[in-house]
Amino acid sequence: MILSRLARLGLLIALPLALAGCGYNTIPTKEEQARAAWANVQAAYQRRADLIPNLVETVRGYAAQERAVLTEVTQARARATAVSVDASTLTDPAAMERYAAAQDQLSGVLGRLLMIQERYPDLKSNQNFMALQHAIEQAENRINIARRDYNEAARDYNTSLRTFPTVIWAKTAHAGSKPMQLFTASASAQTAPTVDFGTVGAPAAGTAQPTAPGGGAAPVTPGSAPPPAAQPAPAQ
């Protein structure tokens, strides 16, 4: 009787060890690691999104006439925060594509917003703007690191679904486990945004240019309305 009990106890101890040794726990362990890495990606993107409203308001104070860019950034942020990929949709290619596209679009217009500083010296030297710019750069770095870490964790998990001995469990006990989608930025998102400051904000064709005494161009202070165009002299 005692020997029988000891045998059963030994079996109960040996079985979990045997399962662990043959990779039974590998798939769920790697899956949880990949999900945790994805949570870091979302946190990094959210950090960037949280900084944007203050950045927009700061730029608006110095360059209110750049309404198009300010509006685009605000709208792109709203779209990016409306699209999410949670643990249950990490295996959905369409969901990951929508998420990546929304974030890439925000990255593009955000780059244009940051480049406006080159046109407004007062904005470029504003301490609040510089602090926000630095914080966004740090957020972008966190995003890159988090995406890299997630992709590595997802590849590791995906590999465990196809390689021996864990593939045995992937076909049996963990048959519901599916490969996770990798996060890839579009080609356009990896190209630095360009803004032609010679045309952005330029008057429409055919509009008279204001001139200063002596024939030179009248100065325009950033953030202020341009002076009215000169009126034709009355006929004699």
CA atoms of 79 and 106, how far apart (whole Å):
8
pLDDT at residue 88, rounded to an integer: 83
The whole-angstrom separation of Cα 20 and Cα 39 is 26
| Backbone φ/ψ region at 129: left (φ over 0), alpha (ψ -120 to 50), beta | alpha
User: What's the token pair of residue 77?
Assistant: 């942020």
pLDDT of residue 3: 59
| Cα dihedral across residues 74, 79, 85, 90: positive or negative | negative
Per DSSP, 228 falls in state P
What is residue 227's predicted lDDT score, i.e. its pLDDT? 43
Q: By the 8 A CB rule, do 136 and 110 touch? A: yes
Q: What confidence score (pLDDT) does residue 9 get?
A: 54
221 three-class SS: coil
Q: What share of the chain is helix, strand, coil (3-state, %, to 5)?
A: 65, 0, 35
Whole-angstrom CA distances from 35 to 85, 172, 218 are 11, 22, 59
What pLDDT sits at residue 13? 46
13-22 LR contacts (CB < 8 Å, sep 24+): 22/165, 22/168
pTM > 0.75: yes or no: no
What is the reported pLDDT for 27? 95
Distance CA 190, CA 223 (A): 31
What pLDDT is recorded for position 58?
Answer: 96
State the CB neighbour count (10 A cutoff) for residue 173: 13
* pLDDT tens per residue across span 108-155: 999 999 999 999 999 999 999 999 999 999 999 999 999 999 999 999
Per-residue confidence (pLDDT) for residue 23, from 0 to 100: 80
Q: What is the pLDDT of residue 12?
A: 47
Main-chain dihedrals φ then ψ at residue 160, nearest 5 degrees: -65, -20
Mean pLDDT by 10 residues, the chain (236 residues): 58 44 85 96 97 96 94 97 91 94 95 94 94 96 97 97 93 92 70 39 38 39 41 44
DSSP letter (8 states) at residue 139: H
Query: Tell me, what's the pLDDT at 141?
Result: 97
> Which residue ranges form the domains of the chain, and what is each CATH number?
20-170 (1.20.1440.20)
pLDDT at site 190: 46
pLDDT at 221: 39
